Amino acid sequence: MPRHSLAGQAIEIGWIRDNVCDLDADAYYRMCLARRTEAEVRWLHQRLLAYDCVESARHSARELAAAALREGQRALGPAAETGDGRFLLDLTGYVVDRSR
């Protein structure tokens, strides 16, 4: 557990050492995440599962992917049946259904 806190501290110390002043919100967020303990992450994961948040998000993502597929088919017209068209249309499903 202390490993995560140490990683976050190491990032911040590196910024100080290197006099980094142009940080964006994403960099600071990543540093904060590195400081989280394993227990906090486990607690959050349990809450997400207990309230079906993960499955609800997956369901919404599948619905949005289906809508994107329909719009893509409409926008591409006959080109949707080409190799390139099928590749583009398959991307949404791939992103939603991949394991990680």
41-88 per-position pLDDT tens digit = 778 888 888 998 888 988 999 999 999 999 999 999 999 999 999 999
Rounded Cα–Cα distance for residues 22 and 42 (Å): 32
If you average pLDDT over residues 88-93, what whole number do you get? 92
Distances (CA, A) of 52 to 40, 78, 95: 18, 40, 21
Reported confidence tier of residue 2, pLDDT bands at 50, 70, 90: low
**Residue 92 has which token pair?**
């949404």
Q: At 98, is the secondary structure helix, strand, or coil?
A: coil
Are the C-beta atoms of 35 and 9 separated by less than 8 Å? yes
